[in-house]
């Protein structure tokens, strides 16, 4: 065999083992989805810290024959990179670490300054239970319905945590739906807010919040952990680590740990979590009717949660004699601080002199706790 024949044979071997021959229409469709998500993250700026890793994980998962998703077998004792990275999702590590980072970043001051906003965070869980009922009516099991319903809280880590325990078979679709809707808060919430409030409602200015003492800030994470842990032990991993992160922030004596939790630890975990979520979007397993149903139910859940917060916000407006702007109720979903920023942008279009960001942060951070408690309640009832 001469050099030319060897060269042609080598080229033929490369072609026959290339990913091109392994591409299916489902892979191509999901590559298109990944490109669309990358566009939204890079060009439109829709939560790029979440959307870009998810989009690239989707891209990696849909390049055939790379072995990046391969599990451990007798013939492949090492397994693919994403197989090991996904360990953190499969065993609930990433969601809990993310909660610690969120706690370190979160200022619970607005919530403590106006404790009534706890109720707005609770009312914004309405969509969770509407989606559970809808999922069961659509043929899902109660365990799967619980995993789908938690999308309504707009809290990706909580959705992953609950689903990995009660319905791992739909984890991929639920995780993608939850994080996608978190990223699309600026698109989804404003129409719902405008539908359920008037221009006069959105123009209401609120008084400045009272100062919150350092003692209150330190006691809050400790007391919250104890109370939630005693009443609902299943929520301890999420609520406990959220409050631990916040105690690092508020104690004043662990600045290095606080900065690490806010930055290096949270950033690294976010990268691996995002890529792992994207890796669940492999065409062969993701493009199914079940996935479409979950995404549709997730949208209903998210819109209903926004509406639930706004409904109680209207009640508070009436009871306060028009002193509470009802739009802050929409921030009761867990998408921190995106939902609060959306409220600020919406109200400033009606009244440029209105600054509701800190008021909206109260129900926003309450929503984080509320979604974790809702997940803990479901976990308690479904794992007896």
Count the neighbouring beta carbons within 10 Å of the beta carbon of residue 87: 14
Q: Which two tokens stand for residue 90?
A: 């499969």
* pLDDT at site 13: 65
Residue 81: per-residue pLDDT: 87
Query: Coil, strand or helix: which one is 383?
Result: coil
What pLDDT is stored for residue 5 in this prediction? 66
| CA distances to 111, 115, 354 from 210, in Å | 11, 11, 17
Low-confidence spans in the chain with pLDDT less than 50: none
Asked whether the whole model's pTM tops 0.95, one would answer no
The residue with tokens 């990358």 is 38
Tell me 108's DSSP state. -
Query: pLDDT tens across 51-97, in order?
Result: 899 899 999 999 887 878 877 777 666 778 888 888 888 888 999 99
């Amino acid at each position: 065999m001469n050099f030319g024949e060897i060269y042609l044979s080598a080229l033929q071997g490369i072609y026959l083992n290339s990913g091109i021959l392994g591409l299916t229409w489902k892979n191509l469709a999901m590559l298109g989805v990944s490109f669309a998500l990358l566009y939204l993250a890079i060009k439109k700026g829709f939560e790029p810290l979440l959307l870009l890793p998810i989009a690239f994980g989707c891209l990696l998962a849909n390049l055939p024959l790379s072995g990046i998703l391969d599990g451990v077998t007798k013939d492949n004792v090492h397994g693919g990179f994403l197989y090991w990275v996904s360990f953190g999702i499969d065993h609930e590590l990433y969601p809990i670490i993310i909660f610690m980072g969120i706690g370190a970043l979160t200022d619970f001051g607005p919530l403590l300054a106006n404790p009534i906003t706890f109720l707005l965070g609770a009312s914004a869980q309405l969509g969770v239970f509407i989606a559970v009922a809808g999922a069961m009516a659509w043929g899902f099991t109660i365990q799967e319905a619980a995993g789908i319903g938690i999308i309504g809280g707009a809290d990706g880590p909580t959705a992953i945590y609950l689903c990995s325990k009660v319905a791992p078979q739909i984890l991929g679709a639920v995780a993608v739906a939850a994080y996608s809707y978190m990223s699309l808060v600026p698109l989804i919430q404003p129409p719902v807010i405008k539908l359920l409030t008037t221009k006069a409602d959105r123009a209401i200015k609120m008084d400045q919040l009272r100062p919150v003492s350092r003692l209150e800030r330190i006691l809050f994470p400790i007391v919250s952990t104890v109370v939630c842990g005693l009443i609902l032990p299943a929520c301890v991993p999420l609520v406990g680590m959220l409050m631990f992160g916040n105690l690092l922030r508020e104690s004043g004596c662990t600045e290095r740990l606080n900065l690490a939790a806010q930055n290096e630890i949270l950033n690294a975990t976010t990268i691996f979590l995002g890529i792992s979520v994207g890796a669940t979007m492999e065409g062969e397993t993701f493009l199914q009717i079940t996935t479409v149903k979950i995404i549709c139910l997730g949208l209903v859940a998210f819109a209903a949660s926004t509406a639930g917060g706004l409904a109680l916000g209207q009640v508070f407006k009436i009871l306060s004699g028009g002193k509470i702007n009802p739009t802050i109720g929409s921030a009761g979903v867990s998408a921190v601080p995106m939902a609060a920023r959306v409220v600020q942008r919406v109200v400033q279009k009606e009244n440029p002199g209105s600054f509701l960001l800190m008021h909206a942060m109260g129900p926003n951070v309450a929503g984080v706790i509320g979604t974790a408690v809702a997940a803990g309640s479901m976990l308690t009832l479904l794992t007896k």
